[in-house]
Amino acid sequence: MKNITWTTRIAQPGTMLEVVNQDKDYICSLLGNNSDEEKQANARLIAAAPELLEALKLAEIALTDFLKEDYPVKSVLREIRAAIQKAEKE
């Protein structure tokens, strides 16, 4: 997988969260009247986007190759599960 990592950080306590990349470059902000819990859940999902995309690409390759021959599906499942866990992490 490509080494693209996005994370969340508090930009203004109680009002705004940001998503940044591995170099701390700004990706986006989450703000508004929704609850902090909802903003955090949305920020986690956005931060997980690069890993989710890569996991889906690996899954597509694995499933395609699995139909042809024996492919290491377990390693792909680990990547998928890690991306899902990051998106759901509380």
Residue-range domain boundaries for the chain: 6-88
Write down the pTM of the prediction.
Answer: 0.64
Give mean pLDDT, residues 47-52.
88
Centre a 10 Å sphere on the Cβ of residue 52 and count the other Cβ atoms it contains: 18
Model confidence over 72-87: pLDDT tens digits? 667 777 777 888 887 7
Report residue 63's pLDDT band, with 50, 70 and 90 as the boundaries: confident
- Looking up tokens 């986690």 gives 44
Q: In the beta sheet, which residues pair with residue 31?
A: 16
Q: Which residue has the higher pLDDT, 1 or 31?
A: 31
Centre a 10 Å sphere on the Cβ of residue 12 and count the other Cβ atoms it contains: 10
The one-letter amino acid code at 16 reads: M
User: Mean pLDDT score of the chain, rounded to an integer?
Assistant: 81
Which two tokens mark 79?
């990547």
| Residue closest to 59 by CA, chosen among 4, 67, 22, 85 | 67
